[in-house]
Amino acid sequence: MATHMAQRVGIWIIAIVLTVGTLAGFIALILSPKNQATDQAKLADLTAQYQTAQDEYQKKVATQATELSNMYFGTFSPFASRVGAFDKASVTQLKTEDLKIGDGAEIAKDTSFTAYYIGWNPDGVIFDQSIDGTTLKAPFTAQPGGVITGWSEGVVGMKVGGIRELTIPSDKAYGASGSGDKIGANTPLKFVMMVIPTPTAIAQPEVPAELLKYYQRGSF
């Protein structure tokens, strides 16, 4: 009698488990589209929030760049007249020429600095510059070790507010690899650069943690 009862209990348990399993699967099928819709709505909301923060960041960056351009364009832009062809073979060592002495802090070998610049090759072709028509682009902030050697060494001793021309041999520029179609292998370069006070950093918005989690796992 006890054996028969145990068998019956076992059968009931199996039936209940199967029923619950079937119901769970059925419920999952019903809820899945709803869960996906909820996730998609949440994803859209988080993405929109992040995009809004990014837009605000870009506006602040653009406003700062405009303010700085208004301050320095008139001083820096006339030095674009320095651009011209030069004898490639004659550039064997780094040379500097101060065009305007600054009155700010002096730059050392391991200091970061912020600058506007114009760079050109021996043919007198500009390959990159801060001047954009009648305005200046956002200035470039260089970190120690983050720029070509000719820049790192060439700015030492400059004072903030100063303007200097750098004549850089190829081994202190881009060497045998060159850079792009305007700087061939073993090409010396010239730059005119103006060092300005480093502007207040504008913090970039962070990607929301939940948004990162979603893209890493595919779900919230």
- From 76, 117, 168, 183, the catalytic residue: 117
Q: What value, to the nearest 5°, has the Cα angle with vertex 68 and ends 97 and 113?
A: 50
Name residue 155's beta-bridge partners.
none
Task: Answer yes or no: 127 catalytic.
Answer: yes
Which helix (H) or strand (E) segment holds residue 144: the answer is none
Q: Which residues of 143-158 are buried (b: 16+ CB within 10 A; e: fewer)?
A: eeeeebebbbebbeeb
Lookup result for tokens 């348990």: 13
How far apart are the C-alpha atoms of 18 and 94, rounded to whole Å? 82
Q: Which candidate in 57, 73, 86, 127 is catalytic?
A: 127
Residue 117 is among the residues annotated as catalytic for this protein: yes
Catalytic residue of the set 128, 140, 171, 214 = 128
How many Cα atoms sit within 13 Å of 55 on the Cβ side? 6
Q: What is the token pair recorded at 14?
A: 């199996």
Active site residue 191: yes
Check 148, 163, 168, 183 and give the catalytic one: 148
DSSP string, 155-203: TTT-BTT-EEEEEE-GGGTTGGG-BTTTB-TT--EEEEEEEEPPPPPPP
Catalytic residue positions? Answer: 117, 127-128, 148, 174, 191
